A and B are shown apart, each in its own frame.
Chain A
Amino acid sequence: MPDTHAPIRYVAKNMRLDLRLIAEMIPRGATVLDIGCGDGALIAHLTAEKGADARGIEIDMAAVAEAVAHGLAVIHGDADDDLAFYPDGAFDTVVLSRTLQAVERPRQVLRQMLRIGRNAIVSFPNFGHWQLRWQLLIRGRMPMTEAWDRPWHETPNIHPCTIRDFFDLCALDGYAVEDWLAVDERGLKAPWRHYPRLANLFGQQALFRLRRR
Chain B
Amino acid sequence: MSAPVTPLPQVDHARTVFADGLALDCGATVRPLVVAWRGHGTLNAARSNAVLVCHALTADQYVAERHPVTGRPGWWDTIVGPGKPLDTERYFILCINVLGGCMGSSGPREEMTDGEGRGLGRPWGTDFPSVTIRDMVHAQKRLLDDLGIERLLGVVGGSMGGMQVLQWAATFPDSVFGAAPIATATYHSAQNIAFHEVGRAAIHADPAWRGGRYWEEGRIPAQGLSVARMVAHITYLSEQALTRKFGRRLRSDTNPLGALTFLEDVFEVESYLRHQGSTFVSRFDANSYLTITRAMDYFDLAAEHGGDLAAAFRGTRTRFFVASFSSDWLFPTRESRAIVRTLNAAAANVSFVEFETDKGHDAFLLEEPAFHRALGGFLAGCADRLGV
Within 8 A of A (CB), among B353-388: 353-356, 370-371, 373-374, 376-378, 380-382, 384
Residue of B whose beta carbon sits closest to that of A70: B377
Choose from B321, B345, B355, B382 the contact partner of A86 (Cβ within 8 Å).
B345
A8-38 to B contact mask, C-beta < 8 Å, 1/0: 0000000000000000000000000000000
CB pair A87 B384 closer than 8 Å: no
CB pair A69 B356 closer than 8 Å: no
Contacts of B351 in A (CB 8 A): 64, 67-68, 72-75
CB pair A65 B344 closer than 8 Å: no
A61 CB within 8 Å of chain B:
yes
B249 CB within 8 Å of chain A:
no
Q: How many chain B residues have a CB neighbour from A under 8 Å?
A: 28
Contacts of A85 in B (CB 8 A): 341-342, 344-345
**A61/B354 contact (C-beta < 8 A), A73-B349, A82-B341, A82-B344 known:** yes
CB pair B381 A71 closer than 8 Å: yes
CB pair B378 A68 closer than 8 Å: yes
Choose from B342, B350, B384 the contact partner of A73 (Cβ within 8 Å).
B350
A55 CB within 8 Å of chain B:
yes
CA distance A55 to B347 in the complex (A): 11
CB pair B347 A86 closer than 8 Å: yes
CB pair A76 B381 closer than 8 Å: no
Within 8 A of B (CB), among A66-119: 67-77, 82, 85-87, 90
Residue of A whose beta carbon sits closest to that of B342: A85
**A69/B373 contact (C-beta < 8 A), A85-B345, A90-B347 known:** yes
A169 CB within 8 Å of chain B:
no
A62 CB within 8 Å of chain B:
yes
CB pair B355 A61 closer than 8 Å: yes
Within 8 A of A (CB), among B318-334: 319, 321
Q: How many chain A residues have a CB neighbour from B under 8 Å?
A: 22
Contacts of A53 in B (CB 8 A): 349
Choose from A64, A67, A70, A73 the contact partner of B319 (Cβ within 8 Å).
A73
Interface centre among B342, B344, B371 (most CB of A within 10 A): B344
Residue of B whose beta carbon sits closest to that of A53: B349
Residue of A whose beta carbon sits closest to that of B85: A69
Residue of A whose beta carbon sits closest to that of B344: A85
CB distance from B233 to the nearest CB of A (A): 27
CB distance from A46 to the nearest CB of B (A): 14
**A71/B384 contact (C-beta < 8 A), A61-B355, A62-B370 known:** yes
CB pair A71 B378 closer than 8 Å: yes
B280 CB within 8 Å of chain A:
no
B214 CB within 8 Å of chain A:
no
Interface centre among A73, A75, A82, A85 (most CB of B within 10 A): A75
Contacts of A67 in B (CB 8 A): 351
Given A61-B356, A75-B340, A86-B344, 12 other A-B contacts at CB below 8 A? A61-B354, A65-B370, A68-B351, A70-B377, A70-B381, A72-B351, A76-B353, A77-B337, A77-B340, A77-B352, A85-B342, A85-B344
**Interface positions of A (Cβ within 8 A of B):** 53, 55, 61-62, 64-65, 67-77, 82, 85-87, 90
The contact sample of 27 A-B pairs, CB cut-off 8 A, is A53-B349, A61-B353, A62-B370, A64-B352, A65-B353, A65-B355, A68-B351, A68-B374, A68-B378, A70-B377, A70-B381, A71-B378, A71-B381, A71-B382, A72-B351, A75-B340, A75-B352, A76-B352, A77-B337, A77-B340, A77-B352, A82-B344, A85-B341, A86-B344, A86-B345, A86-B347, A87-B347
The 4 closest A-B pairs by CB, nearest first: A71-B381, A69-B377, A85-B341, A75-B352
